[in-house]
Each structure stands twice: as structure tokens, then as C-alpha cells.
Structure 1
């Protein structure tokens, strides 16, 4: 969203193969940054809900320390569907998107530019985040390695609350400056009815768009929900949820026992008056 704010939203439609030389195989033809962020590359082993994420290829990806090994694992899924058609969750797809975005940044700002440094300096710090949450794990266990993208950051309560506020209550404005592209932000937060992303599989279908999940709510969930609405949320391994409520409030929980229960929170948030912005 910050790249799009700086260089236009078309950056999301740039092809992975144009920015990652190793992605030049036919199976990655026509796969865009947006497809990778939506988990719709069309390359997967199983379309079962979260089956690939728990499979051997992702184990190899997570355990790989070198850039070459991590990239090789990320690109190893077989081609099975047209890009944009089938949702299959891979943390490795976010890694690929970040690698492509890093190259987009280098093209615009020169060699040595770093996508995480841009995020830190131009988004997180203006939003008041830090210092504990201004670093990330990188390949090769080296400060010059590639940022993992899909994981590898460490959050304090204060910092995750500020990021949530930046997204939902402040509408992407930090330090008085629009740092997140409004159009992509609206789509990510389910505010754009023409771009709700793709519907996931699993027992509870969600929307998934630009790395954000979303769940629909209606009077069938709670009589107080007189008009249908959607709650976008970020979800992390083991039991992490950051839910971004339509009224501008937010809710976060970090746990490690695979509990993702936060539906009751939505009813409590619904009692609040709208926050500033949002």
C-alpha cells in the first residue's frame, strides 16, 4: 500500500517473473504481486484448506536459512490453476511478493534500497511504532539478507495497537501524511464492494484480499447487527488475531494454543460509537 501511494497502484499488477529471475519458469507466467498477496498464484500441491501450509514444502521453506534455499522452496509448488482463480495459503507467497516489491523499489530508488527499511522509515516510525518492532528476521541470518516478509517481526502491545489504528481509524495517515494508498486500503479492509478479494475454503468461508482476511456478520450472528457488515482481520500462526472493526476500533490477541475465537468481541465493539476516521 505504501509502494502504491508512492508510485501508483499499478505496482501491484507487476509480474513476479519481471522482478525475481528464478521465477521465470512457465508455471509462474502471468503471476502478479497481487496474486501472491491474495494467495492465488495457481501453484500448489493441495487445494485443501491450509493443507499446503502444514505440508512438507512449507516445512522446508520455514527451515531454510539461506536465500537460495528459501526461494527454491517458495517456487517449488506445481502449477495447477490459472492465477487468480484458486486460493491456497502459503506464507512463502508473501515472501515472493516482498522479493518482487523489493526489486520494484530498487528500480525506482536505486541499488541498495530495501523494502523493509522503507516500511520502517516511511510507515512504521511515522505511525509511532518502535523501537522493538522496527526489526525483522532475514535470510542467511544476516542484516543484509532478504526480509522474510510473511513472518519474522516481533510486536509489543503498544506497537500492534498503533498499526491497527493506522489501518482502520486513521485511514492510512501517519504524521499528517497519507502513507497508505486509499484505494488499496479500502479494498484490503472490505470497503470496496467491487474488490472483496477471493473466498477461502474451509468450514467458515472468509474473504481474503491483499494479505487481509475478512468475515461477514449479519443478524443471523447477532440480532443487534441490523445491517450486514464485514470485519477484516490479520491472522497469525498459533492464535494471533488483529481484528479491525468497521467503527474504527480494533481488537488484538496473541496466543499459542491455536485458538482463534473472537466473534463475541465483535458484538461488544458494535456497542461503541464510531472512532475518529474509519
Structure 2
């Protein structure tokens, strides 16, 4: 174990559970040279620090292996109750009679601002051959997943397909230090041109299934999209009052006039400081992020801030507000559509994400560790680069539609994407807007357009950006050095195809 960065002093020279993999018992299915786990997405575990996410790997044979097959499995250590991700590969030898070698593992990359390390070792392992009665269906689903991915090309091919394009402007070292870049891509005309995927010891061998955290991009693709979908299904839904559905928010009167549309815009009127990100950066937010249970998280969220402004007039960023909104929407969907319904598993995954062909790993959200199992809503998702590209195309190119059918309220979605000049949202900073969970920046002076040129984007803690440019292209990157620069990429996209409205 070699510690590289430890902002919160999690470890020292002594042994620690953070320095060890959780014990595991996994089931895999082989189809050809592919080996995929039966269970995908974050797997909650009794280990105090880490939870696994497994992805599909490969099986092959080498002449020197004496009849053994060789397997390699990409995996992620997902920080318990958080969204940091540390990526590794597990490899071992096995025979059909159950013989197996020790398992070697290496973890040498991450998307995590505050905790970076290398970890490696050998583990005792056992292998039990078995037949899974669901194997044919699982194999078919996996093959459909692979076949359904968006076409991928190396970022260098952009210069071939679009003569004159400069691929170096995407993932530019001038904007993001390559040592802290997990992956990036530029999506244009249905192709995902990709780069990055480097570890501290070479290129990751399984970049197609390299997990990255959403952090606050979830406020856009989960909270915002779920709210606009509920508005489509139940007109007037966004006018609902928080206190009516969240009992913890009903006691002090500060939420009796706050509508869901105010919450998604970060305009509840309840805050401590109006300075940019002051409340969000305060130490008391630990009372939201650290507890494992819903009762503690919702109590903090509802009671931490006092009324300072009329709802809908002042932008102040609170992840706790998005947690309240998720709680309210989950209560509503149960009341409106059935007690067994869930705002994430049903409203988003079944109705939108599965039809979009998003990965199984994206279909599992961080939730509270209690019987409530409340989705975090404002953070806590897992994404593959294919998921990012598909979500961006769904929003930016297909206008929130699947097969020509609207998945979200069209008016609210147009406002969120800055396509309605009469409803641009609230003002976080000069030349920035925030509307229905989606950021936007006006860049006409940077690209030479004569009229206002608004660029909607998603943003996540540590250095995550998904830029949905108005020329139907998308630039995304996942990094962890706390930088959020993207103008070089926007200007290059403009050089390929005009951004001017």
C-alpha cells in the first residue's frame, strides 16, 4: 500500500482496513472470451470502508500456463457512503476442475480528489464450477449491452474524420493535468472519440468499463430529469410544496412555501451565507455526507438553514436541498403510482435509462444504509463513458426524447437547456445560469458569436464536466484535481461546427 494523497488523514504507517480488499464471493459467467459478473453496480458490504463494483473482463490461454485459463477482472473500490472510486484489475488462473491459482490484484488509479493510493497484493482464492440456470438470458443481455454501445474511436481519429480539427484541444493539459485525468471524450455525429484512461503504470486495459463517479452531475441526470419526468406524467408536479411531503421539513415553517421547482433551481430562500459555495463548503455539511441513515441526513437538510430570501429569487448551492427533493419525489411517486415504486429504480432506470441502453452499473444508486434506502439523488451514481455519451446525446441532440417520444416535460426541459429566453433560471455567477439542475455559461465573446451563446453543462465535485454544446456535440471529462476548465474544447468544437445560434 503506497499512499499518494490523504487529505483527511484516513491512514498512517499502521495497518488499516482501508489498506485491504474486502473478502468476496462472486459469481461469473463466461461467454466466449468474455467473463462477466452476475451482479453489477455497487454491492453494499459489511466492510467499513470499501464496496465492490465488478465489470466484465476477459479469459484467455497462454502456452506456459499448463492447461490453465487466465482471467482478468476489472473492479472498482467504491468508498462506502461516498462517491470516490479507485479502479483496479484482479487476475488469476483456473481450470474447469476447480483448480485455481492465487489472485493477484492492483489498484493504481482513481477519481477521488482527497484520497489517492496504489494498492497491490496476492490473495488466496478458490473456484467452484457451477451451472447457472439463467445463463442463456444473462449472456444474451450482456451481448446486447456490448453491441448497444455507441461507436468509439481514439480522439486522434477526430483529425481524420474532420480534417483541420485539433484533437489536442480536448483533454488539453493546459486545462486539466493529465496525471489527474481519468478519462475524457468528444461526441459528434454518433461517435464517441475518447482519450485518457491512463493509470500511474500505463493505460488501463478495460477503459470501456472503467467506472467513474457522478458526484453532482447526478443533480442534472437524476434529480433534474426525474423532476421533469414527473412533471410530464403528473402536470403541476413541480409546484408541489416540500413541507407537504417531507414531515421533517414541516416543523419550522421554512419549507411551507418552497416548491419543488425552487429546490431544483437552488432557490429555496433558506441559507446561511449568500456567498458563492460558502454554505456547501462549510464543515457542518459533514452532517449530511457522513451519517449512514436517512433520519440524520434529512434532519440536517431540513433544519440547518433559516429563511433569508423569497423562494425562487436567490441562488445558493446546497446538496442537502437536492436530498430533500429526492425524499419528496420518492414519497410522491409512492403516493401517485404505488407504494412499491421508487423515484430512481422506476422513474429513472425502468422508464428512461434502460430504454437508453445505459449500463447495469449505472442502474444502481448510492442509498442510505437503513430500511428507508433513500437514494442520495444529488450524488452517488456510477457511470461508464458510454453512459455519459448516451445521456448527453439524449439531452443535447434528442431533446429529451426516445424514439420521438418525450421522456420529460418539454417546456421545463427547454428552459433547463437554455432554449427558452424567457426562463433562464437563477444566477450563480456573472454570465452563468442554473435551471432545473443544469448549469449554463454564456460564451459568445470567447467564440466570436454575435448573439448570446449559452452552453448547458453538468458539473461534479473534484473536476467533472459534461459540456452539452449547442452545435449537437458534447465534451466530457472526469478528473480529480479540482479544476473545471473547458473553453479550449468549446472553441475547438466551434471550429469544427459553429456554436453560434
Regarding TM over 0.5, the answer is yes
Q: Secondary structure at the match of 1:27?
A: coil
How far apart in 2 are the matches of 1:59 and 1:161? 32
Alignment check: 8 A CA contact 1:62 1:70 kept? yes
Please name the residue that 1:66 is paired with.
293
Match for 1:21 among 242, 247, 259? 247
Q: Secondary structure at the match of 1:171?
A: coil
Measured on the aligned residues, the alpha-carbon RMSD in Å equals 1.8
Report 1:1-278 matches (<5 A): 1-8=228-235, 10-24=236-250, 25-75=252-302, 76-117=304-345, 118-140=347-369, 145-201=373-429, 204-218=430-444, 220-223=445-448, 225-273=449-497
C-alpha deviations, 1:85-138, integer Å up to 9, x for none? 211101111111111111221221121210001200001111111111111000
Instruction: Report how far residue 222 of structure 1 moved.
Output: 3.0
How far apart in 2 are the matches of 1:64 and 1:77? 18
4+ runs of 1 displaced by more than 6 Å?
Answer: none
Q: Secondary structure at the match of 1:266?
A: helix
Q: Secondary structure at the match of 2:382?
A: coil
Gaps of 5+ in 1: none
Please name the residue that 2:127 is paired with.
none
More helix by share: 1
How far apart in 2 are the matches of 1:38 and 1:182? 17
How far apart in 2 are the matches of 1:184 and 1:227? 23
Instruction: Report how far residue 198 of structure 1 moved.
Output: 0.6
Instruction: Report how far residue 269 of structure 1 moved.
Output: 1.6
Alignment check: 8 A CA contact 2:246 2:327 kept? yes
Q: 1:205 to 1:176 in 2, by over 3 A?
A: closer
More strand by share: 2
Q: Secondary structure at the match of 1:28?
A: coil
Instruction: Report how far residue 273 of structure 1 moved.
Output: 4.2
Instruction: Report how far residue 81 of structure 1 moved.
Output: 1.4
User: Larger C-alpha radius of gyration, 1 or 2?
Assistant: 2
TM-score normalised to the size of structure 1?
A: 0.92
Instruction: Report how far residue 176 of structure 1 moved.
Output: 4.4
Q: 1:212 to 1:140 in 2, by over 3 A?
A: same
Instruction: Report how far residue 177 of structure 1 moved.
Output: 2.7
Alignment check: 8 A CA contact 2:244 2:256 kept? no
Instruction: Report how far residue 266 of structure 1 moved.
Output: 1.3
C-alpha deviations, 1:212-254, integer Å up to 9, x for none? 1100011x2233x233210010110011001111111111111
